Amino acid sequence: MRYTGSMSAQDLHKIANQLRGDVLQMVHAAQAGHVAGPLSSADLFSILYFGGVVDPTQDKIVLSCGHYCPIQYAALARAGYFPVEELASFMQIGSRLPGHPERGSVAGIEVSSGPLGQGVSVATGMALAFKMKYGEMSQIKEPRVYCVLSDGELQEGQVWEAFNFAVRRQLDNLIFILDRNKIQIENYVSQLATYGEVVGRLEAFGLNVLETDGNNIDKLKAMIEKAKTMQSAPTMVVANTVGGKGVSFMENKPAWHDQVPTKDELEKALKELNV
């Protein structure tokens, strides 16, 4: 189905679960791909593509954590960028939906990503270009760049290089959304390279930081709307989420970072998601 018009929180929640179901079917059909992140960020993608906060005629959505791509493919398909049936071709030879995003493979894929950190810099360059083209006028009239990144991704040094630059250039047309699901491929984020603390570090770098429950449609949508009003620096919306959100046996388990559901698990999951 296509979605149009004004969406209530209930509608957006329903769409998010449909996107989750799309992701699980894609990964099951491909017998490869990532699960926990796409599911934790489904509410965010529902808001970005169907919530009316992004202006698709001028704004850009950049996915930096490229392994999340099944959720973006699902959102693009459901938003009418390409036929929903094409989702079944995910990762197959000749498909327009490769295992990690490749710029221009379908409309709406703005950046090639996968090696973590790269999309953050590219989004920063896109925001800088908008500043040059539209001048230093208030960001309220200017196109914006929305960049989605993951909390494991914050371990890449390039991300902090980009934050330095974006802050120094006062790119307030740049809104980062951190899908902070607290797991990564090997373990919980707090068990590996850092203790998992993010807000203080991001604030110390000079970003505007807004923290919220990233699996609560109302709260996350309100926070992104608030980010659009922030000035003088890029804003980071820290969206605290649950890895594998929406499927009880996948939630908050690092193993589901990239585990492929069996047929039984897929059926059980789709039932839980009510799709």
Partner 1 sequence: MYNDKYLIPEWRTPSKKAIRTGMGEGLVVSGGEHEDIVVLTADLAESTRVREFAEHYPERFFDVGVAEQNMIGVAAGLSFSGYVPFASSYATFSPGRSWEQIRVSVCLSRANVKIIGSHAGVSSGKNGPSHQGTEDIALMRVLPNMVVLAPADAQQAKAIIEAAYNHEGPVYIRTTRPETPNFTKPLKFEIGKAYKYREGKDISLVACGIQVYDALIVAEELAKEGVECEVINVSSIKPLDEQTILESAKKTGRVVTIEDHQINGGLGSAVAELLGEKLPTKMKRIGIVDRFGLSGEWEDVYKAVGLDRASIKQAVIDYLHE
> Which residues are at the interface with partner 1 (CB under 8 A)?
102-104, 110-115, 117-130, 132-133, 157-158, 161-162, 164-165, 168-169
Rounded to whole angstroms, the Cα distance separating 43 from 4 reads 17
Q: For residues 82 and 96, is the Cβ–Cβ distance under 8 A? A: yes
Please state the closest distance from residue 194 (CB atom) to partner 1, in A. Answer: 19
Nearer to partner 1 (CB atom), residue 32 or residue 129:
129
Residue 212 tokens, joined: 């919220």
Please state the closest distance from residue 164 (CB atom) to partner 1, in A. Answer: 6
- Measured N-to-C along each axis, helices 9-30 and 42-50 cross at an angle, to the nearest 10 degrees, of 120
Please state the closest distance from residue 254 (CB atom) to partner 1, in A. Answer: 25
Fill in the amino acid letter for 216: N
Nearer to partner 1 (CB atom), residue 234 or residue 244:
234
Q: For residues 29 and 261, is the Cβ–Cβ distance under 8 A? A: no
Please state the closest distance from residue 159 (CB atom) to partner 1, in A. Answer: 9
- Measured N-to-C along each axis, helices 118-134 and 157-168 cross at an angle, to the nearest 10 degrees, of 10
Nearer to partner 1 (CB atom), residue 162 or residue 238:
162
Please state the closest distance from residue 157 (CB atom) to partner 1, in A. Answer: 7
Rounded to whole angstroms, the Cα distance separating 39 from 37 reads 5
Nearer to partner 1 (CB atom), residue 71 or residue 123:
123
Nearer to partner 1 (CB atom), residue 100 or residue 226:
100
Compute CA distances 172 → 39, 107, 226, whole Å. Answer: 28, 25, 12
